[in-house]
Amino acid sequence: MGTINGDLGYTIGPATMPTVNGTNYGSGATYTQAGADQATALSALNAETCNFNFGGATDLALETQPLVPGVYCITGAISIGSG
């Protein structure tokens, strides 16, 4: 196993624990709070109203640049192209 330069959190520990140059939170309270915060943020994002709707796969690099600030809702795959 390698080395992680940063903090580590997990629900099920790895078979071989890496060297952690940071804090190992395991599945403790800090990790649980991070998951709860992530769920809250995702819920807030999902509640946003779409400013722009795309009905299928979309390459945003092909849209007029720079993109206008707002919420882009895309029902298919999204990419940012190579432009």
Residue 38 shares a structural domain with residue 58: no
Mean pLDDT of all residues in 57-74: 91
pLDDT in tens, 3-62: 999 988 777 777 888 898 988 877 677 777 888 899 999 999 999 999 999 988 899 898
pLDDT of residue 29: 73
Residue 41 shares a structural domain with residue 53: no
What single-letter amino acid sits at 74? I
Tokens 């992680």 sit on residue: 4
Residue 25 shares a structural domain with residue 59: no
Residue 56 shares a structural domain with residue 42: no
Residue 1 shares a structural domain with residue 41: yes
pLDDT of residue 50: 94
What single-letter amino acid sits at 10? Y
Encode 30-65: b = buried (16+ Cβ within 10 Å), e = exposed.
Answer: ebeeeeeeeeeeeeeeeeeeeeeebeeebebeeeee
pLDDT of residue 1: 65
Residue 53 shares a structural domain with residue 37: no
Is the whole model's pTM more than 0.75, yes or no?
Answer: no
Q: Which residue segment(s) compose the domain that 12 sits in?
A: 1-47
Residue 22 shares a structural domain with residue 41: yes
